[in-house]
Structure 1
Amino acid sequence: MTVLLVYVDDIVLTGNNILEIEKVKQFLCTKFLIKDLGKLKYFLGIEVVKSDKGLCLSQSKYCLELLSDFGLLGSKHVSTPLESNITIHHVDNRCDNDLPLSNITEYQKLIGKLIYLTLTRSDISYTVQCISQYMHAPLTSHLKIALRLLRYLKTAPEKGILFSKCENLSLNTLVDCNWVKCITSRR
């Protein structure tokens, strides 16, 4: 089996037969100007580290750049991505100074970057899912949650996903559903 992954002008070529991989490389050289960078180390902001334990995917550089962009490299970290027992509102509560954001574009960019970060950081998926529901009408409280999430990422920006070497493949998951916080609109 040979797998060719293409994203614009970036290509990853892998498979279970070195000779077949070389044939594909030679064919590509006849059609395009390509450069072989060797073993995969970095692809689309994802660092790939191979070890005896398996393959680790991490976005540590991307995470640190995100912290830097929002001026949070020197901030105090928090131990959880979301405060416990928090209720996220979809309407502004002016008595709590929870006003609509004046520049929603920056909020949308931040949420988009956090969504991309969930590729290797499943620990932030729930929080990102919660705050991404308000991309078209974010409040200051939503931005505060997003910034808290960034401060959580500061605790271990190098965290990622490890694909372990093993004979028998098994998938272990954790699901923590909270349907009470799921807001539905009623007419």
Structure 2
Amino acid sequence: MTPPPGYVTKGENKVSKLLKSLYGLKQASRQWFSKFSNTLLANGFHQSKADYSLFTKVIGSSFIAPLVYVADIILAKIGCSSKGISVCQRKYALEILKDCGLLGAKPAKFPMEPNLKLSRDIGVLIEDPYVYRRLNGRLIYLTITCLDLACSIKLLSQYMDKPRQPHLDAAYHVLRYLKATSSQGILFPSSSDLQPKALCNSDWARCPNSRRSVTGFCVFLGDSLISWKSKKYQIVSRSSAKVECRAMASTSCELTWITTLLNDFKVPHPPSFSPLL
């Protein structure tokens, strides 16, 4: 913080005492969340031990569960029917296509070429990297309901520092696939059981630049998909067996965390489960 002109006299050393957190300071987000959480706790909410940004409260037959990330609160519209609950981001997907001028583009049948190998050194650098970074950031938000985009967006996110033309072309291919699948989302069946289960897999030495492996998992609550992830490891594995073990370890940690969340949501579930490879 810089004192206003004329406030500091030459030869004096003065400091400013912060009486109220200001937007833009490092402490602002922490102070805001502290006040927000204290207000919820004072009104009878319980803070989750698995996710400190999750608060729950039971009022008779009603159950309230606000989930807040710093200063962002998302209000989502969810469709309900006798078959279950449907979550979709069609409006947001069409807005991305419209902004990129691809509403009239030819749809693609898959998000990315199966044998596509992107590199940091192949291709011409993009004149305006902001275009690629903004597009990739908007696509990341779509992975909330679009599991089929997780692996492709994870790969495109690795070239945010110096994007090249092949990276932008691959991102546009994802948009063409999005045009054909913009109405697709996640369905949580009403007749599903509450048995947690998971599927995990890995691709040994998948990255052509660093030779790091890629792993992914899907977690189901009965027939409902509730969590998924695709990530590149930070270290190089010497064998495929080590990669598979790490994938199962990550999946087991996710299952343990989800079990704690289910307890916070007051959802009864079987006490034992095992990941499926």
Note the C-alpha offset of 1:173. 5.4
Q: Residue 93 of structure 2: SS of its match in structure 1?
A: helix
CA RMSD of aligned residues (A): 3.0
- 1:178 counterpart residue number: 203
- Distance of 2:184 and 2:60 partners within structure 1: 31
- 1:91 counterpart residue number: 121
CA deviation string 1:3-55 (max 9, x = no partner)? 89xxxxxxxx986844676xxxxxxxxxxxxxxxxxxxxx9474411111111
- Distance of 1:16 and 1:81 partners within structure 2: 44
Structure of higher CA gyration radius: 2
Q: Identify if the C-alpha distance between structure 1 residues 125 and 45 changes in structure 2 by more than 3 Å, giving closer, same or farther.
A: farther
- Kindly report which structure 2 residues correspond to 1:147-158, keeping only aligned pairs within 5 A, or say none: 147-158=172-183
Aligned pair 1:54/2:79, yes or no?
Answer: no
- 1:69 counterpart residue number: 99
- Kindly report which structure 2 residues correspond to 1:1-187, keeping only aligned pairs within 5 A, or say none: 17-18=60-61, 44=74, 46-92=76-122, 98-166=123-191, 168-171=193-196, 175=200, 177-182=202-207, 183-184=209-210
Identity within the alignment, %: 34
TM-score normalised per structure 2: 0.49
Higher RCO (CA 8 Å, separation ≥ 6 residues): 1
Q: Answer whether contact 2:125 2:165 (CA < 8 A) is retained.
A: yes
Q: Residue 155 of structure 2: SS of its match in structure 1?
A: helix
* Residue range with higher mean Cα deviation, 155-164 or 110-119: 155-164
Q: Residue 106 of structure 1: SS of its match in structure 2?
A: helix
- Distance of 1:164 and 1:136 partners within structure 2: 41
Matched residue pairs, number? 153
Structure 1, unmatched stretches of 5+, are 5-12, 22-42, 93-97
CA deviation string 1:136-158 (max 9, x = no partner)? 11110000000000000111201
- Distance of 1:107 and 1:62 partners within structure 2: 18
TM-score normalised per structure 1: 0.70
Structure 2, unmatched stretches of 5+, are 1-44, 48-55, 65-72, 213-277
Amino acid in the other structure paired with 2:90:
S
Q: Answer whether contact 2:57 2:63 (CA < 8 A) is retained.
A: no
Q: Residue 180 of structure 2: SS of its match in structure 1?
A: coil
